[in-house]
Amino acid sequence: MRLRGLLAAVVVLAALSVAVYWSNKAQKAEEKKAAVDTSPKVLSVPEDQFQQIELHKTGSDDIVLKKGQDGKWIMFAPKTWPLDQDAVSGLISTLSSLSASRLVEEKTADLAQFGLSNPSLVVTITKKDGKTEKLLVGDESPASGGYFAKREGDPRIFIIASYNKTGFDKSLSDLRDKRLLTFDPDKLSRVQLIAKGQQMEFGKNNQNEWQIIKPTPLRADGGRIEDLVRRLKDAKMDVATSEEASKKAASAFAKAPRIALVKVTDNSGTQELEVRKDKENNYYAKSSVVEGVHKVSSDLGEAVDKSLVDFRNKKLFDFGWNDPNKIEIRDGSKQVVYVRSGEKWTAGATQLDASSVQAIVDKLRDLTATEFVEKGFGSPVFEVTVTSNDGKRVEKVLISKQGEKCFAKRENESTIYQLEGKALEELQKAVADVKTFQPPKGQKK
């Protein structure tokens, strides 16, 4: 009897376990379904399938955007302005996978109560296959702060979050390319600047480094030219400017003297930007890319209001932050050659204290002209040849001394660099302070 009762209890327990298992599984399935249902998809269109987008907004002109053969988006209506491709990408990203905050109605015949019988915003998406998806956006939901929306052909009414609506509810100003120059900085080949009564032209050499081409070939301060390019790339119009303000800008531009004319050339052609400055130190610009005159920032105005000397390289050496492979020094009758192998520096068979040689490298790297002069360089008293970039770059600098003044020239260049008076003395001291390598105590040489 006891065995029979025990078997019955086991059977009952097993049955309860199975019931609990299926109950839990069903509950999890319902929870999962509920979680999915709380944010159902309103639109699901792969981004690469977008071919055309139409925005119809009550009280505004319809905006029509089309994808060109090159993959870039073009505005066809109501203007033919260039588009901000990043802004269009953001719009597409929002629409491609639009989820609702929640489902309001499975089906209703009364769309007016949601503002959907005459929607304030209609977005029509034309896909590559020619088929369309249409999104209707109605009134704001008083309870949630979102907006009622539905997809044409779908009876369901949803609420979408305000931030989602903001993602695709764009105006002409939001979508317009606001750049005054639309060149590609990665494909820039020439920059021409007329300023301070000088005509300058900058280009890149075989090492992709900026050089001054005109008025005469000279070494350039690449950082200064890159800064100029960045300022030109970032120059934008203020699309919120009123018509009256635009007229005032045009009038001020006509009266103000020109401070600079810039021409930039990339693989698509040449673009121009003329910058003027009025008596109140306001800057105005006129571009060959966009219509009208635009007030611009002082940062742009100051960046183009430069002379040739502002773009010249005042450093004596170009090895920059690359460690030299070899340094050859002649100081009068004394000569020494330092060679680097990995982290070690040697002079002949003698290993040197690396930090003391590094002091020489730092002094050479910091050699900078205080100004460029036409004369003053006499017989050289100090010569330095630096080999870097695994032997691909060799630079030789000659230094002379005239009284308290110190001058330098790069080999095969006519430019004379005037240095700080103590520059040579400090360099000679760094050479004199070079020590032999001393291993830590207990470690053999």
* pLDDT tens per residue across span 81-94: 889 999 999 999 99
Residue 182 CA to residue 194 CA, distance in Å, equals: 20
pLDDT of residue 241: 72
Residue 329 CA to residue 396 CA, distance in Å, equals: 10
Exposure string (b/e) for 374-402, b if CB count within 10 Å is 16 or more? eeebeeeebbbbbbbeeeebebebbbbbe
pLDDT of residue 22: 42
Where is pLDDT greater, at 238 or 53? 53
Signed CA dihedral, 355, 361, 365, 366: sign only: positive
- Report which of 207, 206, 197 is spatially closest to residue 305, judged by C-alpha positions: 197
- Report which of 126, 121, 122, 120 is spatially closest to residue 73, judged by C-alpha positions: 126
Report percent pLDDT > 70 for the chain. 90
pLDDT of residue 35: 39
pLDDT of 109 strictly over 90: no
- Write the CB contacts of 365 (distance below 8 Å, at least 6 apart in sequence): 315, 317, 319, 320, 321
pLDDT of residue 431: 96
pLDDT tens, position by position, 290-305? 888 999 999 999 999 9
Integer Rg of the chain from CA: 36
Mapping DSSP onto H, E and C, the string for 305-363 reads CCCHHHHECCECCCCCCCCCCEEEEEECCEEEEEEEECCEEEECCEEECHHHHHHHHHH
Residue 408 CA to residue 121 CA, distance in Å, equals: 70
Q: What are the beta bridge partners of residue 393? A: 388
pLDDT of 27 strictly over 80: no
- Mean pLDDT of the chain, nearest integer: 89
CB 126, CB 143: distance < 8 Å: no
pLDDT, mean of residues 10-19: 46
pLDDT, mean of residues 156-173: 94
pLDDT tens, position by position, 224-265? 999 999 999 999 988 767 788 888 999 999 999 999 999 999
- Work out the end-to-end distance of the chain between its first and last CA atoms, rounded to an integer number of angstroms: 93
**Farthest-apart Cα atoms in the chain, separation:** 124
pLDDT of residue 442: 64
pLDDT tens, position by position, 332-383? 889 999 999 999 999 999 999 999 999 999 999 999 999 999 999 999 999 9
pLDDT of 7 strictly over 70: no
User: What phi, psi does 235 have (nearest 5°)?
Assistant: -65, 125
- Report which of 319, 314, 308 is spatially closest to residue 200, judged by C-alpha positions: 308
Residue 271 CA to residue 202 CA, distance in Å, equals: 15
pLDDT, mean of residues 68-95: 92
Q: What are the beta bridge partners of residue 55? A: 63, 123
- Report which of 414, 381, 221 is spatially closest to residue 308, judged by C-alpha positions: 221
pLDDT tens, position by position, 194-234? 999 999 999 998 888 999 999 999 999 999 999 999 999 99
Measured torsion, CA atoms of residues 370, 374, 378, 379, in degrees rounded to the nearest 10 = 90
Query: If you search the block for the tokens 């910091």, which residue do you land on?
Result: 366
Domain ranges of the chain: 41-175, 185-311, 326-432
pLDDT of residue 228: 97
Domain at 326-432, CATH class: mainly beta
pLDDT, mean of residues 106-113: 90
